[in-house]
C-alpha cells in the first residue's frame, strides 16, 4: 500500500494538505472528512477510518479544510469540493478512477460529505456519499438544534440567523438536494443529543422526494459517538453501498 503524508492541494492560491492510503488496484476512492463542529479537528483524526477503507480495497484520502470562525461558511465546503476536483485532475498520477469518488464524514464531516453530494459542478461533486449524523438543515437553530450546538453553528455561519435567513438556507444541504444529487447513505444514532435524528429523517424524505438513490439507518441506542460495533456496521454498510454504486 502506498501512503502519502502532508501532500498539498490548492484552492484560491491557498495550499492545504491531505494524507492518503492507496492500495494496489483500488476499487474506488473515499474522501474521509473529519468532524469537530467546523471549528476544530484535524485530518489525522480520520486516518484510522481511512485505513479501514483501504483494507477493504479503497484508496482513502484525509483532506485538511479551513476552520471557523476565522474561515466561516462557505470556505470549508469550497475546500472539500476543491479537493475532489484535485483528485479528478490527479487521477492518473494517483492511480484512481475519477468516476469512483465517495465521501464519508461524521457530524460536521457528514455535513461536508453531503455538500459534495449536492455540488452542481460535476468536477467537484462526489459520485456517492455517506453521511454519519451530519447536520442537514441549519435554519431556525434554536428550534431545530439543542443548545450545545448553537455556538458552533453560529461560528460556522458567521452571521446571525435573523436577517440572514437566505444565507442559512444556502448553507443547508437539505435545500440543495435535487434529482442530480449523488446516491447517499445516512446513519444516525436514535439517542443523539448533539445532532437530533430529525435532521437525517428530513434529509431522507427530501432525497426520496427527488428520486435520489438513498438509504437511512437509525441505530438503536446510539448517541453522537458510536460504539465499536455500531461504527463497524457503519463502515461495512458504507463500503457495500459505495461498491454497488461504483459498479452501476
> Can you give the residue ranges of every domain in the chain?
2-246
The Cα 56–Cα 240 span in angstroms is 10
pLDDT above 90 for 248: no
**Predicted local distance difference test score (pLDDT) of residue 58:** 98
Alpha carbon separation from 37 to 44, 103, 121 (Å, rounded): 16, 18, 25
**What confidence tens digit (pLDDT) does each residue in 206-244 have?**
999 999 999 999 999 999 999 999 999 999 999 999 999
b/e burial code for range 177-213 (CB count within 10 A of at least 16 → b):
beeebbbbbbbbbeebebbbbebbeebbebbeeeebb
Cis bond before residue 69 (omega within 30° of 0): yes
Neighbouring CB atoms inside 10 A of 147's CB total: 8
Instruction: Check if the beta carbon of residue 65 is closer than 8 Å to that of residue 33.
Output: yes
**What confidence tens digit (pLDDT) does each residue in 49-74 have?**
999 999 999 999 999 999 999 999 99
DSSP label of 183: P
Q: What is the mean pLDDT of residues 34-47?
A: 97
Question: What number does CATH give the domain 2-246?
Answer: 3.40.50.1820
Cβ neighbourhood burial of 10 (10 Å; 0-12, 13-18, 19+) = exposed
Smallest CA-to-CA distance from 113 within 152, 65, 69, 55 is with 65
Cis bond before residue 8 (omega within 30° of 0): no
DSSP label of 96: -
Q: What is the mean pLDDT of residues 93-102?
A: 98
> Average pLDDT, whole number, for the chain?
97
**What confidence tens digit (pLDDT) does each residue in 150-177 have?**
999 999 999 999 999 999 999 999 999 9
The Cα 139–Cα 161 span in angstroms is 7
At 37, the pLDDT band (50, 70, 90 cuts) reads very high
What percent of the chain stands above pLDDT 90?
Answer: 98
What percent of the chain stands above pLDDT 70?
Answer: 100
- What residues does 44 pair with on adjacent strands? none
pLDDT above 90 for 12: no
Query: Which strand (E) or helix (H) includes residue 214?
Result: strand 214-219
Amino acid at each position: 500500500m502506498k501512503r502519502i503524508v502532508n501532500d498539498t492541494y490548492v484552492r484560491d492560491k491557498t495550499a492545504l494538505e491531505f494524507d492518503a492510503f492507496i492500495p494496489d488496484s483500488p476499487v474506488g476512492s473515499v474522501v474521509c472528512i473529519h468532524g469537530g463542529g467546523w471549528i476544530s479537528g484535524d485530518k489525522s483524526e480520520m486516518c484510522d477510518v481511512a485505513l479501514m477503507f483501504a483494507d477493504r480495497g479503497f484508496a482513502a484520502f484525509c483532506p485538511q479544510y479551513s476552520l471557523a470562525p476565522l474561515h466561516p461558511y462557505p470556505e470549508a465546503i469550497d475546500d472539500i469540493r476543491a479537493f475532489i476536483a484535485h483528485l479528478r485532475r490527479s487521477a492518473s498520477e494517483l492511480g484512481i478512477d475519477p468516476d469512483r469518488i465517495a465521501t464519508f464524514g461524521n457530524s460536521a464531516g457528514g455535513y461536508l460529505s453531503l455538500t459534495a453530494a449536492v455540488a452542481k459542478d460535476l468536477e467537484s461533486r462526489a459520485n456517492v456519499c455517506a453521511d454519519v449524523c451530519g447536520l442537514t438543515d441549519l435554519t431556525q437553530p434554536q428550534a431545530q438544534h439543542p443548545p450545545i450546538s448553537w455556538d458552533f453553528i453560529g461560528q460556522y455561519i458567521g452571521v446571525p440567523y435573523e436577517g440572514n435567513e437566505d444565507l442559512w438556507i444556502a448553507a443547508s444541504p437539505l435545500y440543495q438536494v435535487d434529482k442530480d444529487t449523488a446516491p447517499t447513505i445516512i446513519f444516525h444514532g436514535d439517542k443523539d443529543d448533539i445532532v437530533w435524528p430529525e435532521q437525517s429523517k428530513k434529509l431522507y424524505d427530501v432525497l426520496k422526494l427527488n428520486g435520489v438513490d438513498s438509504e437511512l439507518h437509525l441505530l438503536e441506542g446510539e448517541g453522537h459517538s458510536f460504539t465499536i460495533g455500531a461504527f463497524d456496521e457503519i463502515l461495512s454498510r458504507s463500503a457495500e453501498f459505495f461498491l454497488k454504486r461504483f459498479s452501476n
